[in-house]
Amino acid sequence: MKSHYSIVFHPLAEKEYLESVAWYEDNRTGLSLGFINEVEKVLDHIETNPFLFPIKKLQLREAPAKTFPYLIIYKINQKQQQVTVLSVFHTKRNQKMKLKK
């Protein structure tokens, strides 16, 4: 049986996520629910198997959303069995800005 990792959001990642939710809701009523569900699916995959997604840079991993243009960028702390979400990144933004806040 796989052990589950806890997921915590870095404050800036949480801000990014909430701003994205608000943007989708402002642009089309109800679309934010689809976005939230998609992010939750990705987080569920990460929680049950955080090593599923490859390391991209500096021990950071990127998990793509399927229906929205976003990456969940995270790092793993094996000792604490914890995943820290560092960014909920819109892929149309400048890729050099992934972790610069």
Q: Is 90 exposed, middle or buried (0-12, 13-18, 19+ CB in 10 A)?
A: middle
Alpha-carbon gap, residue 45 to 67, rounded angstroms: 15
Is the confidence at residue 3, as pLDDT, over 70? no
For the entire predicted model, the pTM comes to 0.87
pLDDT of residue 23: 94
Q: How many CA atoms lie within 13 A of 83 on its CB side?
A: 26
pLDDT tens digit sequence for 21-56: 999 999 888 899 999 999 999 999 999 999 999 998
CATH class of 6-92: alpha beta
